[in-house]
């Protein structure tokens, strides 16, 4: 009888944590890096890959815009806007053949679009569906073609500008991910929110969190953080996205958040000691190339240890 009371108490405690959004998915050796948005010369082979981690390259970006001189929303008809010359099907095939721990994702949306390159464009990339039904139909069709052509394993959602309600965003993206998973087209999905746009992603998470595998929260979008400040923000977002596999993050060439030379790895080690580090992601390989990828090496070593 005493044993059953202990089990019941343990179950109620776990239920309390889950219902209050304070559960954590535990540590992971997942390392993810965005690539292809800011450089015409970046290659997969430039980036060091530690065999002791699960490594995801995230192609940035596929965008549902036209690719002419005056890009406009295309209602879910996605095109590849990343650097396809060096990050194409042949290169992906060779990469996977040489590295069994590597998977490929494609990120949807991003900040801007135009002239075939997301980084050089002055025009913001808006989530702007004409209707839920047509957007989802077009997105499923166009992304299935891209995913099959490039041998992509998963998708990442990184819309940052919106001409829709949070509810419309949640339904369109939630249905898209659900359909792509049910068809076996993708095996995982992630989201990439930050504080200012959290209302959209939390609407998605509340209804469709069960089909989202990773949360790439952009902690570098905060103003400069201390180690304690970073850990506090991490735990706040872990509560917002209760039960998620939440990744820590830094930006190679940025000054926001907690920079890798200001204590990022100290913060990650503390989170790892608490069993709360769901992985690390970096924006971006393009920016890290001229730094010799020293922080990517350090991050992967931390995760592999």
- Which CATH number does the domain housing residue 93 bear? 3.20.20.80
| Token pair in block for residue 17 | 């944590």
21 is a domain residue: no
Q: Are 260 and 224 in contact (CB under 8 A)?
A: no
Q: Which of 33, 83, 160, 296 is catalytic?
A: 160
8 is a domain residue: no
pLDDT of residue 69: 82
pLDDT of residue 25: 65
Task: Say if strands 154-159 and 188-191 run parallel, antiparallel, or are unpaired.
Answer: parallel
Q: For tokens 């905060």, name the residue.
A: 222
pLDDT of residue 253: 92
Task: Give every residue of the chain whose pLDDT is below 50, as ranges.
Answer: 1-23, 115-121
pLDDT of residue 68: 82
Q: Is 65 helix (H, G, I), strand (E, B) or coil?
A: strand
Q: What gap in Å lies between CA 163 and CA 282, rounded to an integer?
A: 28
Q: Are 251 and 283 in contact (CB under 8 A)?
A: yes
Q: What gap in Å lies between CA 131 and CA 263, rounded to an integer?
A: 45
pLDDT of residue 163: 97
276 is a domain residue: yes
Q: What gap in Å lies between CA 254 and CA 250, rounded to an integer?
A: 8
The alpha carbon of residue 136 and the mean position of all alpha carbons in its chain are separated, in whole angstroms, by: 20
E strands, the chain, are: 30-35, 54-63, 79-80, 102-110, 112-113, 123-124, 126-127, 154-159, 161-162, 188-191, 214-215, 248-251, 280-283
Q: What gap in Å lies between CA 120 and CA 69, rounded to an integer?
A: 12
Instruction: Reply yes or no: is the peptide bond before residue 36 cis, omega within 30 of 0.
Output: no
pLDDT of residue 24: 53
Q: Is the pTM of this model over 0.75?
A: yes
pLDDT of residue 6: 40
4 is a domain residue: no
Q: What gap in Å lies between CA 304 and CA 200, rounded to an integer?
A: 33
Residue 55's alpha-carbon distances to 191, 280, 281, in angstroms, are 17, 10, 10
120 is a domain residue: yes
In eight-state DSSP terms, residue 224 is P
User: Quick one: CA dihedral 268, 260, 122, 113, positive or negative?
Assistant: negative
38 is a domain residue: yes
175 is a domain residue: yes
The count of structural domains within the chain is 1
244 is a domain residue: yes
**In terms of residue numbers, what domain contains 158?**
30-304
236 as an active site residue: the answer is no
């Amino acid at each position: 009888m005493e044993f059953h009371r202990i089990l019941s108490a343990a179950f109620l405690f776990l239920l309390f944590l889950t219902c209050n959004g304070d559960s954590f998915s535990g540590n992971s050796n997942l390392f993810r890096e965005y690539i292809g948005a800011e450089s015409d010369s970046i290659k997969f082979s430039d980036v060091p890959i530690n065999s002791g981690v699960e490594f995801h390259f995230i192609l940035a970006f596929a965008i549902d815009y036209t690719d002419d001189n005056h890009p406009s929303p295309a209602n879910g008809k996605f095109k590849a806007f990343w650097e396809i010359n060096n990050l194409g099907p042949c290169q992906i095939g060779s990469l996977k053949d040489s590295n069994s721990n590597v998977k490929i994702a494609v990120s949807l949306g991003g900040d801007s679009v135009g002239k075939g390159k997301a980084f050089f464009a002055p025009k913001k990339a808006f989530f702007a569906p004409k209707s839920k039904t047509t957007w989802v139909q077009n997105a499923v069709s166009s992304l299935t073609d891209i995913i099959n052509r490039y041998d992509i394993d998963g998708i990442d959602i990184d819309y940052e500008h919106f001409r829709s309600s949070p509810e419309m965003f949640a339904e369109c993206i939630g249905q898209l991910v659900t359909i792509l998973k049910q068809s076996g087209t993708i095996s995982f999905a992630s989201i990439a929110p930050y504080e200012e746009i959290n209302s959209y992603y939390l609407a998605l998470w509340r209804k469709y969190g069960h089909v989202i595998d990773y949360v790439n929260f952009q902690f570098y979008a905060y103003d400069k953080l201390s180690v304690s400040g970073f850990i506090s923000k991490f735990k706040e977002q872990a509560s917002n996205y209760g039960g998620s596999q939440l990744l820590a993050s830094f930006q190679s060439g940025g000054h926001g958040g907690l920079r890798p030379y200001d204590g990022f790895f100290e913060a990650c080690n503390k989170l790892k000691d608490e069993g709360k580090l769901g992985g690390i992601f970096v924006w971006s390989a393009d920016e890290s190339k001229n730094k010799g990828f020293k922080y990517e090496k350090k991050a992967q070593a931390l995760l592999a240890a």
